[in-house]
Amino acid sequence: MAEAMIEFQNVTKQYQGGQAAVDGLTMSIDKGAITVFVGPSGCGKTTSLRMINRMVEPTSGVITVGGADITSVPAPQLRRSMGYVMQSSGLMPHRSVLDNIATVPRLNGVSKADARKRAQELLDVVGLASSLGKRYPSQLSGGQQQRVGVARALAADPPVLLMDEPFSAVDPVVRDELQQELLRLQRDLAKTIVFVTHDIDEATVLGDKVAVFGLGGKLAQYAAPEEILRAPANDFVASFVGRDRGFRHLGFSPSDGVTIHPVRPVTPEQLRQEGSSGDWRLVVDDALRPLGWAGPGPAGAEPVMVAGGSLFRKGDTLRRALDAALSSPSGFGVAVDDDGRAAGLIAAAEVLAVIESDRNIRHGGL
Amino acid sequence: MEWFLANSAEVFSLAGQHLVLAILPMIFGVIIAVPLAQLGRQNRGLRSVVLTGSSLLYTIPSLALFIILPTILGTRILDPVNVVVALTIYAVALLVRAALDAFDSVDEDLRQSAVAMGFKPFARFMQIDLPLSLPVLFAGLRVVSVSNISLVSVAALLGIGNLGMLFTSGLQRDFVTEVVVGIIAILILALLMDSILVLLERLLTPWTRAAAASGAGTDAGTGQAKPGTAAAALRLSRPEAGGGTA
Ligand SMILES: Nc1ncnc2c1ncn2[C@@H]1O[C@H](COP(=O)(O)OP(=O)(O)OP(=O)(O)O)[C@@H](O)[C@H]1O
Ligand SMILES: [Mg+2]
């Protein structure tokens, strides 16, 4: 599918006197996409990321960027071709916001005036008022500082962005905002972004692909986020992804794309008369309000009613659609209208499909 | 007062010599101490050599130094070079420690992000470590300035021209006015130097005030070297410091 931008070939990093921080990592990172490294603390995410710009030198193995071995250019030059953003903004407290943003162009020999002009433009790109340019970093909020950090990383227009938990230190509301902003930027810029986080929610929101690292620096699974959520490769990934996690962002997505299938519900009366059948039947009261599901059974046998899952109201978020579908014993979520009457069914598989295409749209794919 | 008016030219000329003898060692001190401190950051071994060495230097009594130096340097005992060299040694001793502490206090994340942006080591030192260390360095310099101005007067015992001569000659002649004028002149000199240093620091570190004004302070993870660390660095005791004129 996508062209590879960064390749790890059997890369191992062993710090002095420890077990391997990264162990035989082989992976290919797509060009123009966001690849997220996620995993528990100490599993080698930062180490892997920093090997890409040679802040950490691998013990063995080869890393290539754009097909060229990264050791073929001097490290400072390599680093200037990669933006780097980390958890603490890492801004220089003694330089104005503008001059901070202008750092890498200045290192590349761009004149001060030109670099500042570019910095001024970037303030706008990351959604900051241009009047903030004259301030010192300490005069900005944490979220603003991270935006400046992103602007600085973009200043020399590098093809690659390395981001190490850039949004972990800001509060959840600002974090959501910054995540959406990054996605918006990425639609225009199409950088190759490697993003480190230990938050699976963040990984699924941002990642075109997610690499789950296991303890001991082993790559446990590397796939699109939906696949990791739907089919964790092993118990470790499953427990890391968690039962209900990874879907937080769906709380913000509309469910317009989810098809509501017609349903022929039965009242308890009708159910008793008809007896069990081979299918799940939705049971409703006289006002058509859902009561539960009758499980499939041998024809004519006494039907058993099972409590239904959560209900899905038309216009709810994707998150509720998924909850309704997944919590239903029949695999179909019950959609109700504003008066609480059963209006139809939604299928879990279809909700997942909508989530997937929704993500593709957000990422500018398809 | 009358005596001062009559001898003002003499007092001013002594003050000028005094100032030169005090300032030159400060300049040389910075020039030597900063690279030494940077050397001390390379590894643990070098660090302790640099720190212990500078502490030891600081314990040498000043009068002894003024007397020994001519034989080491091959200068005449009256040569002001002796004073400059001696005071430079003290300045280095003090500033190495302050500079090391200042460099240590530069935020590690900031340093890492500088590496990540593609700074080469020397550029990083000049553009990040050094400017951020200025507040602590200036705190050190202010101590050195006061100590130098008082130490210079010791050299008057050897007959090297400075305001301390007002003490020696005043005492010899049992002429209190001259001693008082000397004390006042030295006080004024010390205050003047201190004000200049404060001003210079304000000029060179505008961001520190911005941080304070915004209420964010320097604790907000800005990686700022804090002058407070200089206090610890300067807690060196030399029993005889500045007391040699009695
Ligand atoms: N400079 C170093 N020297 C020695 N060991 C190190 C060094 N840096 C990291 N390690 C070790 O390597 C392992 C991986 O560290 P790394 O920082 O890559 O983890 P991480 O996945 O980024 O963790 P976190 O989520 O906590 O940031 C850890 O066990 C860590 O202790
Ligand atoms: Mg990390």
The residue to which tokens 């790890």 are assigned: A8
Per-residue pLDDT reduced to its tens digit, B214-227: 554 434 444 444 44
Per-residue pLDDT reduced to its tens digit, B34-43: 999 999 888 8
Superfamily of domain covering A4-245: P-loop containing nucleotide triphosphate hydrolases (3.40.50.300)
Tell me the residue range of the domain where B100 lies: 2-237
Quick one: pLDDT at residue B227?
45
SS3 assignment for chain A: CCCEEEEEEEEEEECCCCCEEEEEEEEEEECCCEEEEECCCCCCHHHHHHHHCCCCCCCEEEEEECCEEHHHCCHHHHHHCEEEEECCCCCCCCCCHHHHHCHHHHHCCCCHHHHHHHHHHHHHHCCCCHHHHHCCHHHCCHHHHHHHHHHHHHCCCCCEEEEECCCCCCCHHHHHHHHHHHHHHHHHHCCEEEEEECCHHHHHHHCCEEEEEECCCEEEEEECHHHHHHCCCCHHHHHHHCCCCCCHHHHHCECCCCCCECCCCECHHHHHHHCCCCCCEEEECCCCCEEEEECCCCCCCCCCEECCCCEEECCCEHHHHHHHHHHCCCCEEEEECCCCCEEEEEEHHHHHHHHHHHHHHHCCCC
A79 contacts chain B (CB < 8 A)? yes
The type of residue at B218 is: T
Domain A268-360 has what CATH class? alpha beta
Residue A104 with chain B: CB contacts under 8 Å: 117-118
Nearest-Cα distance to chain A for B119, in Å, is: 6
B109 contacts chain A (CB < 8 A)? yes
B110 contacts chain A (CB < 8 A)? yes
Per-residue pLDDT reduced to its tens digit, B137-188: 999 999 999 998 988 888 777 777 788 888 888 888 888 888 888 888 889 9
d(CA B47, CA A119): 40
- Strand-pairing partners, residue A219, are A213
Q: Is the CB of A42 under 6 A from ligand 1?
A: yes
Quick one: pLDDT at residue A361?
65
d(CA B33, CA A96): 29
What does pTM read for this prediction? 0.73
Residue A27, φ and ψ in degrees, nearest 5: -160, 160
Quick one: pLDDT at residue A100?
96
Q: Do domains A4-245 and A268-360 have the same CATH topology?
A: no
Nearest-Cα distance to chain A for B38, in Å, is: 20
- Residue B246 counted as domain residue: no
Cα A48 to middle of ligand 1, angstroms: 10
Cα B83 to middle of ligand 1, angstroms: 52
Mutation site, B113, B119, B132, B134, interface A, largest A CB count within 10 A: B113
B121 contacts chain A (CB < 8 A)? no
Average pLDDT over residues B11-20: 87
Nearest-Cα distance to chain B for A49, in Å, is: 11
Ligand nearest to the CA of A56: 1
d(CA A338, CA B5): 100
Nearest-Cα distance to chain B for A169, in Å, is: 11
Count of other CB atoms within 10 angstroms of residue B101: 24
- Whether B117 and A103 lie within 8 Å, measured CB to CB: yes
The complex's ipTM?
0.76
CA-wise closest residue to A27 among A208, A195, A222, A185: A222
Nearest residue by C-alpha to atom 16 in ligand 1? A44
d(CA A37, CA A27): 11
d(CA A323, CA A334): 10
Minimal Cα distance from A164: which residue of B? B113
- Residue B225 counted as domain residue: yes
A47, A48, A219: residue to mutate for ligand 1 pocket, most atoms within 8 A of CB: A47
Which of A79, A86, A92 has its CB closest to that of B128?
A92
The type of residue at A46 is: T
Q: In the predicted model, what is the mean pLDDT of chain B? A: 81
d(CA B218, CA A220): 41
Q: How many domains does chain B have?
A: 1
Average pLDDT over residues B18-29: 92
Per-residue pLDDT reduced to its tens digit, B47-56: 999 889 888 8
CA-wise closest residue to A306 among A293, A321, A319, A322: A293
Ligand nearest to the CA of A198: 1
Index of the ligand 1 atom closest to the CA of residue A56: 1
Minimal Cα distance from A51: which residue of B? B116
Minimal Cα distance from A74: which residue of B? B118
Domain ranges of chain A: 4-245, 268-360
Q: Which stretches of chain A score pLDDT less than 50?
A: 365-366
Contact predicate B65/B86, CB 8 Å = yes
The yes-or-no verdict on residue B9 having pLDDT over 80 is yes
Minimal Cα distance from B113: which residue of A? A90
The residue to which tokens 């040694």 are assigned: B89
B217 contacts chain A (CB < 8 A)? yes
Quick one: pLDDT at residue A365?
45
Q: Is the CB of A197 under 6 A from ligand 1?
A: no
- Residue B151 counted as domain residue: yes
d(CA A187, CA A189): 6
The yes-or-no verdict on residue B234 having pLDDT over 70 is no
Quick one: pLDDT at residue A251?
60
Average pLDDT over residues B12-27: 90
A73 contacts chain B (CB < 8 A)? no
The type of residue at A178 is: L
CATH number for position B65: 1.10.3720.10
Index of the ligand 1 atom closest to the CA of residue A48: 18
**Alpha carbons within 13 A on the beta-carbon side of A196:** 21
Per-residue pLDDT reduced to its tens digit, A192-245: 999 999 888 899 889 999 999 988 788 999 999 988 888 888 888 888 887 555
